[in-house]
Amino acid sequence: MSTTIQRVGVVGCGTMGSGIAHVCALAGLDVMVAAASGASLARGRERLTGSFDRALSKGKLTSQEHENALARVSYTSDLEDLADRQLLIESISENEPAKRELFARLDRVLKDPEAVLASNTSSISVLGLARATADGGRVVGMHFFNPVPALPLVEMVSTPLTDEKTAVRAEEFVTGTLGKRIIRSPDRAGFTVNALLIPYLLSAVRMVESGHVSADTVDDAMTLGCSHPMGPLRLADLIGLDVVASIAETLHEEFREPHYAPPPLLRRLVETGMLGRKTGQGFHHYDR
């Protein structure tokens, strides 16, 4: 087996991709972030730099740690530059055809036959992605949670094609190198966390949609009455309403159970670009 993973590639530099790059850089790894265009890379660089800056301002990093972390991250829009990576983590939008196409390309790019190819998907079948490659044995699901630097959990998902040594290597990376906790989840839509979480969020949306209660009332009920750290609608805004809708659609398509169906109100908000915290408006308003 190859040596300990030191060279990591992250494909996609949105909220999740930049968060994954953040924790990898802080762990002392050589991190290369890839995106489809120069504009996407510029936004990703700004997002990641801002994340390190906030950690510095809050005293979570020293000036030297801040400088070292920034220096460990490089950026590219050419997937061929990822050829020497020992681990590639895909973190693009939840679009199965796009992910399949990307996995087929990344599988051809990687030179190390023992390199791990992981997806940060929150709901899509990992087996479907593995079957897009020539070597499904090195494919796993590695689902981080937002915000990545703060939340300790990673869902690890193996498929019938995944080599056990790949699963072990991926788990050792998450627990040993990144210092996070893992749960092994089945390769089914929503895995474990979202299969439980999404129906709860959709139920909160339906309550507001009925007109009987406001979003503030729903969130206050769960934070003040059930000691949840965040109400379901603020949580949906944090995740991104487009992401919530996408996961719900995947769950509903697989299981055909009514409680997984995205409510019309959620669909309308997504269609009008009101996606939550990242756009400044969802079920609540945010100062961007």
Burial class, 16, CB count within 10 angstroms (exposed 0-12 / middle 13-18 / buried 19+): buried
The tens digit of pLDDT for each residue in 242-286 reads 999 999 999 999 999 999 999 999 999 999 999 999 999 999 999
Q: How many residues does this entry show for the chain? A: 288
* Residues known to be catalytic: 122, 143, 155, 194
Q: How far apart are the first and last CA of the chain?
A: 46
Task: Please give the tally of structural domains in the chain.
Answer: 2
CA–CA separation, 261 and 96 (whole Å): 18
Check pLDDT > 80 for residue 3.
Answer: no
Is 286 a domain residue? no
CB atoms under 10 Å from CB of 4, counted, come to 12
**Those residues with Cβ within 8 angstroms of residue 232's Cβ, 6 or more apart along the chain or in another chain:** 200, 201, 203, 204, 218, 219, 222
CATH of the domain at 232: 1.10.1040.10
Check pLDDT > 50 for residue 15.
Answer: yes
Specify whether 138 is located in the same domain as 238: no
Closest CA to 242 of 149, 125, 122: 122
Is 277 a domain residue? no
- Domain extent, residue 266, equals 194-271
Rounded to two decimals, the pTM is 0.90
Specify whether 21 is located in the same domain as 108: yes
Closest CA to 187 of 116, 99, 127, 119: 127
DSSP code for 13: -
CATH of the domain at 126: 3.40.50.720
The tens digit of pLDDT for each residue in 149-196 reads 999 999 999 999 999 999 999 999 999 999 999 999 999 999 999 999
